[in-house]
Chain A
Amino acid sequence: MPETISLEVLRYSPERDAEPSFQRYDVPLHKDWVVLDALNYIKDKVDGSLTFRWSCRMGICGSCGMMVNGEPKLTCATFLSNYAKENKPVRVQPLRYFPVIRDLVVEVTDFMTKLQSVKPWLIRGDGKPISEGEYLQTPEQLDRYKQFSMCINCMLCYAACPVYGLDPVFIGPAAIALAQRYNMDSRDEGAHERMDVLAQHEGIWGCTFVGECTKVCPKHVDPAGAIQQYKLTATIERFKSFLMPWAAK
């Protein structure tokens, strides 16, 4: 294995640059180093001006997502040694389809607003007093939504979704998967409230099932599946309200 590996990192300074450009860095190649280790090495030893987000280094905070050789990746879980054989510099770019603020940092307000719009929390009608105890749930009921609850909001699925890139009003994979996480929860009663947002064109109907969101998800959430499953739910609900208007809320 060679001693070093080259990285081509996208640099953009809003004050200085009209267009971003790649800067090349050589970093030591250790067997146990991930792309994030290389970026931290650059920041500490080579170029303190390099800007990027990271936090936990263990694939749970969801803040170090970037494009590595064109693929959306958590840089804390992407080993440099996987790219050593290619003998080409590893390209690190900010997450695709998001506006770039500086270097590898993207603007995520759009995702945050969308996430909030689907009300990703438990909604109860009247609720019951604490004295009556907890809302119990069986393992089978937990199993219905558990997969969707693994989402860490890393936004790799947005960077993989051409529909989001082409039409930024699309609510997008993670927000819909998280809406489903609560819709499928036996303790939740908010499915009707979420439907207003999800059943619009900007919601599930914009999705053409490219399926890349599911492939890049580091937590195996399967947002593409969540969206298609919700299309079926929304269609059934629509036909129900058409055939039995009196039953609709």
Chain B
Amino acid sequence: MSDTRQAARYTEYHPRWYRPRVSTWWWLGRWPYLKFILREISSVFVAWFVVVLLQQIRALSRGPEAYAAFERWLQNPLIVLLNLITLFFVVFHAITWFNVAASAMAIRFHGKRVPDLLIVGTNYAAWAAISLVVAWFLVRS
């Protein structure tokens, strides 16, 4: 895109443009931008979940004592608080992800675009079904 940068140069007839720099805090001022940054930050909590999950797998592999220690660690109030925040962010991720699914996919059926509401609705229904299946496997003991 070097030609574009060339075009954006100052010219003889426009000697002094006013071109403010974008503030580092551009995402604080407006709610849609803040929502965007929160959505992106949710990825950090997705990674945190992987860390917890791997800790669990490691503890399971090491035996019942290690697993009991892992379960006590999960009851630490700070970890509970962190997991509460994590739950908020991963749910936020899921909602924002499903809501834009229709716009990002544009599925067509018999030459007509499938209505957005149908795609988004299917996603939510699948979310509920998958959650039930996962819970069914984990809640039996």
Contacts and interface: CB of A to CB of B under 8 A. Distances in A.
A208 B41 CA distance: 13
Nearest to B23: A165
B33 A114 contact: no
A12 B14 CA distance: 13
Given A140-B111, A229-B105, A162 B33 contact: yes
A143 B18 contact: no
Contacts of A140: 111-112
Nearest to B14: A101
Residue of A112, A113, A117, A200 most packed against chain B (CB within 10 A): A113
A70 B18 CA distance: 18
A202 B105 contact: no
B17 interface: yes
Interface stretch (B4-12, B48-56, B58-66, B125-133): B4-12
A61 interface: no
Interface in B26-50: 26-27, 29-30, 32-33, 36, 40
Interface string A105-127: 00101101110010000000000
Interface stretch (A37-45, A51-59, A73-81, A210-218): A210-218
Given A97-B22, A143-B113, A162-B22, A117 B103 contact: no
Interface bin, chain B: 20 to 34
B1 A14 contact: no
A150 to B, nearest CB: 15
B106 A14 contact: no
A117 B4 CA distance: 9
Given A99-B17, A100-B19, A143-B113, A162 B103 contact: no
A149 interface: no
Nearest to A20: B18
B15 A143 contact: no
Contact of B17 (A97, A100, A117): A100
A89 interface: no
Interface residues of A, number: 41
Nearest to A222: B103
A33 interface: no
Interface in A172-208: 200, 202, 208
Interface in B93-137: 100, 103-106, 108, 111-113
Contacts of B33: 162, 210, 212
A81 B108 CA distance: 41
Interface of B: 1, 3-5, 7-8, 14-19, 22, 26-27, 29-30, 32-33, 36, 40, 100, 103-106, 108, 111-113
26 contacts: A12-B18, A14-B16, A15-B16, A19-B18, A99-B19, A100-B17, A100-B19, A109-B7, A110-B8, A113-B7, A117-B1, A117-B3, A143-B112, A143-B113, A162-B26, A162-B33, A162-B36, A171-B1, A208-B40, A210-B33, A211-B103, A212-B32, A224-B103, A225-B103, A225-B104, A228-B105
